[in-house]
Structure 1
Amino acid sequence: MPTFNRILLCYDGTLEGRHALKDGACLAQELEAEVHVLAVLSNSAWVQGADIISAVPVEFINDSAKSVLEEGLQKLAARGIRATGHFAVGDPLDQISFFANDLKVDLVVVGHRRTSRLARWWSGKNDGLLLDRVSCSVLVTMGPETEAQPAVAGTSGVDETTPPVEHG
């Protein structure tokens, strides 16, 4: 089993991000690992809502996003975990892979947001997988399903469109 000495926790303040932070914190404590927290302000909001966003001062948006990072660091500190915080603006896949490789982490922890097949298809994303962009292990945390995302009776709950995670 690989040793995870340096862990990158990706935190965005969402329910999924909170699960990733909690699960990653538990693992980091068990392994006594060095912890880094990354908050990414996605630049897709700038492209999709340029009219609205341009009316909001950039400092306000950066301060809001940095407060998410601070919140994550405070949650870890409350558990007795010292972590180094990192903030970036850009595409989350690009930023996560950059920091994972730059910091030479052994493990990246991210939360998974469940979406329907239609939503996944409709988004039309062709960014490639995070797994293809990093040279370390990736832990994808799965929080409990919310009322807004009920399980459909008669399904396995497994997304057949997503390839299985390879362990190596």
Structure 2
Amino acid sequence: MPTFHRILLCYDGTREGQHALKDGACLAQELHAQVHVLSVLNHSAWMQGADITSSVSIEFITESARGLLDEGLQKLAARGLTATGHFAVGDPLDQIPLLANELNVDLIVVGHRHSSRLARWWGGRSDGLLLDRVSCSVLITMGPESVADSTVAGEATRPAEHL
């Protein structure tokens, strides 16, 4: 297995982001790796809701997103990890590879959210995969099933684990 010296954890506060942060922290501790955390304010998602968010200042939205980064850094600190935080505005599929290349990371850790074909089609994702945009390894964390997935399967679920 390759040695990962520099790890980039992508954190957005979602359930999937929580799992990426947790799994990445465990790996970083085992490998004694340098840790970076990236939170991206996705401007395309924000712009789609522009009619709703027009009454909300961009400063408030930016501060909320920066608060997520601080939350992720605090969770890592509680585990005894020192991490460097990075904040970006834009499309995560652009911002993650940009920072990964700039920092010369060995591994990127991201969470994955299951979506239906209709959701993928509706979202219009034609911009390619993260894997096509980076030259390092990528760890995609899944976490436990979501409530919607287990409800369909008729199973009980457990809440997302936090750091």
Q: TM-score, normalised by structure 1?
A: 0.87
CA contact (8 A) 1:9 1:38 kept: yes
Q: How does 1:69-88 map to 2 (within 5 A)?
A: 69-88=69-88
CA-to-partner distance for each residue in 1:8-58, whole Å, 9 max, x for gaps?
000000000000000000000000000000000000133211122221111
Deviates more, 1:3-12 or 1:121-130: 121-130
Q: How does 1:141-156 map to 2 (within 5 A)?
A: 141-150=141-150
* Other-structure match for 2:130: 130
Gaps of 5+ in 1: 154-168
The answer to whether 1:98 aligns with 2:98 is: yes
Secondary structure at the counterpart of residue 140 of structure 1: strand
CA displacement at 1:126 relative to structure 2: 0.4
Secondary structure at the counterpart of residue 148 of structure 2: coil
* Other-structure match for 1:59: 59
CA contact (8 A) 1:145 1:151 kept: no
CA displacement at 1:91 relative to structure 2: 0.2
Identity in percent: 75
Secondary structure at the counterpart of residue 69 of structure 1: helix
Secondary structure at the counterpart of residue 149 of structure 1: helix
CA displacement at 1:118 relative to structure 2: 2.0
The answer to whether 1:23 aligns with 2:23 is: yes
Secondary structure at the counterpart of residue 95 of structure 2: helix
Structure with the larger helix share: 2
Deviates more, 1:80-89 or 1:46-55: 46-55
Secondary structure at the counterpart of residue 145 of structure 2: coil
CA contact (8 A) 1:42 1:89 kept: yes
Equivalences, count: 153
Q: Over aligned residue pairs, what C-alpha RMSD do you find? A: 1.3
Secondary structure at the counterpart of residue 147 of structure 2: coil
